[in-house]
Amino acid sequence: MDNNTSARVHCMECQAGYLRRKYVTYFTWIGEELITVQNFPAWVCDVCGRREYDHQALNQLNLILSPNAGKSAGKRGRRSGLVDGSGGEVRPGRVK
């Protein structure tokens, strides 16, 4: 068996075509904003056109578009520094 036939994957949608690696424009909504990414890797059926996006590329895109992207993880456990009327520190979720 040669390399071309061993790498062929049948389309799960139409069962007739084969999925081929292509670079397409990926569209997604974040809130009310439409995000487009050109040259996004996907597997596209040569018969019905079904797209299966590359999982690794989707994971990387999710990391980039995450609302916490670029924020330091060290800021999470810090105290607020707020004090109540008696001079004691106010802690979230705690009632005196």
Question: Residue 53: which CATH number?
Answer: 3.10.20.860
Q: Give a yes or no: residue 81 inside a domain.
A: no
Q: What is the pLDDT of residue 87?
A: 47
The domain containing residue 24 runs over which residues? 3-68
Residues 62, 76: Cα–Cα separation, whole Å: 21
Residue 88 lies in a domain: no
Dihedral angle at the C-alpha atoms of 8, 9, 11, 12, nearest 10 degrees? 160
In a domain, 37, yes or no: yes
Mean pLDDT over 3-11 rounds to 68
Residue 94 within any structural domain of the chain: no
Identify whether 12 is part of a domain: yes
Whether 75 is in a domain gets the answer no
- Closest to 58 in 3D by CA, of 11, 10, 26, 29: 26
What value does the mean pLDDT take over residues 28-36? 89
Identify whether 85 is part of a domain: no
Q: Which stretches of the chain are assigned E, i.e. beta strand?
A: 9-10, 18-30, 33-45, 51-53
Is residue 17 predicted with pLDDT exceeding 90?
yes
Question: 40-65: per-residue pLDDT in tens?
Answer: 999 999 999 999 999 999 999 988 88
Q: What is the pLDDT of residue 93?
A: 44
Domain count, the chain: 1
Residue 74 lies in a domain: no
Q: Is pLDDT above 50 for 39?
A: yes
